[in-house]
Amino acid sequence: MALTIVLKVDPRKIDIEAIDLAASYIRRGRLVAFPTETVYGLGCNALSSDAARRVYEAKGRPPDNPLIVHISDFDMLYLVAREVPEKALKLAKRLWPGPLTLVLPKSDRVPPEVTAGLETVAVRMPAHPVAMALIERAGTPIAAPSANPSGRPSPTKAEHVLRDLSFKADIVIDGGETIYGLESTILNLLGSVPVLLRPGAYPVEVLEELLGEKIHVPEFAKGFGDAPRALAPGMKHRHYAPSTPLVLFECSEYDGPHSPCLEKLVNAILAFLKDVSGRPCIVASEETAKAYRDVGARVLVIGSRANLYEVAKRLFEVLRKLDEIGCDVALMEGYPDRGLGLAIMNRARKASVRRVVVS
Ligand code: TXA
Ligand code: MG
């Protein structure tokens, strides 16, 4: 039977011996799960075909879904990317290390298994001391998808990785809870117009300001439908899904935390509850939670509408919790598609089985 070594590493006081052990596993083509500022990744040597194949197998990941390559300095960037357009370099220099992934022309050093046969490679420099130390000490870029079985909610704690992928990772580095709780923003700057491939921890509005131009946000990046394979392979509609069927309630428009639509949204959830059989759970915000008192549903408060950072950080944990506490159906409130809200709604729409829009 395979065993998983668990190494506890405090991000504020890096245990370099533990990191060196994990780094030696990476160099030998083994799998190491590690924390980043976004979610936990299941890492392998990004220059090894065999190691990459192991990652796909461990996650049950379709072979057409490429991996993100994590680097710790700009020399590694030029090792994995054939060229870096000026616009991309400028943004990387401003925001790395940080939760921004850039799609770039790939170098010959990156095997096709990592990029699912594409001529481009997705690259980011993670803003997490454990991730950075691991890449540095391994001395090689690390390819890492989120450390969850394909299609399921992403892990924000080491215990999630151990529960979901136990024995599939050779080492799990437990560096505590991740910071943002949802994945990096993926941007393609190779065409004439910047295109958002996945909203994430850096909001589009911030990136537009730094770029000085508009970013195109396709429907699939909002969480609607599958992405065209040529642009964003493997970005399937259904993803991040708990086993509990999730029904998402959204306003066609929101205008502030006390918008009249929010009240209608709450009423729509209350009306829906009347027809639900089994054990309903409601994923509510701090502002609305009291409306669901005494309606016979378990209420999970995800955070405040005034602080979407909090909602983003708790999202995957709440989705996992729905399964743990045995909800038969979950009803979740939506958030505006602005700032972090876009990333939250992308995940929530992909995780849901049904969407109810209130206007
Ligand atoms: O925050 C994150 O990005 C986390 C942590 C671990 O760094 N990683 C992550 O990886 O979210 P994953 O595998 O769950 O999502 C990576 C996505 C893929 O689904 C794919 O759509 C996109 O990145 N991707 C990778 N390479 C690409 C490429 N060459 N062109 C377009 N999209 C690409
Ligand atoms: Mg993922």
State pLDDT tens for residues 145-187: 999 999 999 999 999 999 999 789 999 999 999 999 999 999 9
The reply to whether ligand 1 has any atom less than 6 angstroms from the CB of 81 is no
Burial of residue 213 (CB within 10 Å: 0-12, 13-18, 19+) is: exposed
Distance CA 202, CA 27 (A): 31
> Which residues touch 267 (CB under 8 Å, ≥6 apart)?
none
Ligand nearest, relative to CA of residue 196: 1
Please state whether the predicted TM-score (pTM) of the whole model is above 0.85: yes
- The pLDDT-based confidence of 258 (bands split at 50, 70, 90) is low
| Cβ–Cβ < 8 Å for 353, 247 | yes
User: What mean pLDDT do residues 193-205 have?
Assistant: 97
- pLDDT tens sequence across 70-115: 999 999 999 999 999 999 999 999 999 999 999 999 999 999 999 9
Ligand 1, residue 235: give the atom nearest the CA. 21
Q: Output the CA 145–ligand 1 centroid distance in Å.
A: 6
- The pLDDT-based confidence of 214 (bands split at 50, 70, 90) is very high
Counting ligand 1 atoms within 8 A of each CB, the residue from 38, 68, 189 with the most, and so the one to mutate, is 68
Alpha carbon 177 to chain centroid, angstroms: 14
Ligand 1, residue 144: give the atom nearest the CA. 6
- Mean pLDDT of all residues in the chain? 95
Please determine, for residue 2, whether its predicted confidence score (pLDDT) is greater than 90.
no
The reply to whether ligand 1 has any atom less than 6 angstroms from the CB of 65 is yes
- The pLDDT-based confidence of 257 (bands split at 50, 70, 90) is low
At 228 the pLDDT is 84
User: What mean pLDDT do residues 215-223 have?
Assistant: 96
Distance CA 308, CA 235 (A): 24
Can you point out the beta strands (E) in 28-184?
32-35, 40-45, 68-70, 100-105, 120-124, 142-143, 171-174
Name the strand (E) or helix (H) holding 329.
strand 329-333
The reply to whether ligand 1 has any atom less than 6 angstroms from the CB of 121 is yes
The reply to whether ligand 1 has any atom less than 6 angstroms from the CB of 110 is no
What percentage of the chain carries pLDDT values higher than 90? Answer: 91
Please determine, for residue 1, whether its predicted confidence score (pLDDT) is greater than 80.
no
Distance CA 124, CA 18 (A): 23
Ligand 1, residue 147: give the atom nearest the CA. 6
Distance CA 268, CA 253 (A): 15
Q: Output the CA 232–ligand 2 centroid distance in Å.
A: 13
Counting ligand 1 atoms within 8 A of each CB, the residue from 61, 110, 179, 186 with the most, and so the one to mutate, is 186
> Which amino acid, residue 193?
V
Distance CA 348, CA 286 (A): 18
Counting ligand 1 atoms within 8 A of each CB, the residue from 36, 69, 101 with the most, and so the one to mutate, is 101
Name the strand (E) or helix (H) holding 20.
helix 16-27
- The pLDDT-based confidence of 128 (bands split at 50, 70, 90) is very high
- The pLDDT-based confidence of 134 (bands split at 50, 70, 90) is very high
Ligand 1 atom 15, closest CA: 145
- pLDDT tens sequence across 271-311: 999 999 999 999 999 999 999 998 999 999 999 999 999 99
Can you point out the beta strands (E) in 171-304?
171-174, 185-188, 195-198, 246-251, 280-285, 298-303
Q: In what order do the strands lie in the sheet with 329-333?
A: 298-303, 280-285, 329-333, 246-251, 354-358
Please determine, for residue 255, whether its predicted confidence score (pLDDT) is greater than 80.
no
For 164, half-sphere exposure in the C-beta direction (CA atoms, 13 angstrom radius) is 27
Phi/psi zone of residue 167: left (φ > 0), alpha (ψ -120 to 50 degrees), beta? left
| Cβ–Cβ < 8 Å for 343, 200 | yes
Beta bridge partners of 331: 247, 282
Closest C-alpha to 159, from 347, 6, 3? 6
From residue 134, how far is each of 20, 27, 59, 120, 337 by CA, in Å?
Answer: 7, 11, 21, 24, 35
> Which residues touch 43 (CB under 8 Å, ≥6 apart)?
26, 31, 32, 33, 34, 70, 134, 142, 143, 144
Beta bridge partners of 13: 10
302 phi and psi angles, rounded to 5 deg: -95, -25
Closest C-alpha to 189, from 212, 223, 157? 212
The reply to whether ligand 1 has any atom less than 6 angstroms from the CB of 101 is yes
Distance CA 47, CA 57 (A): 17
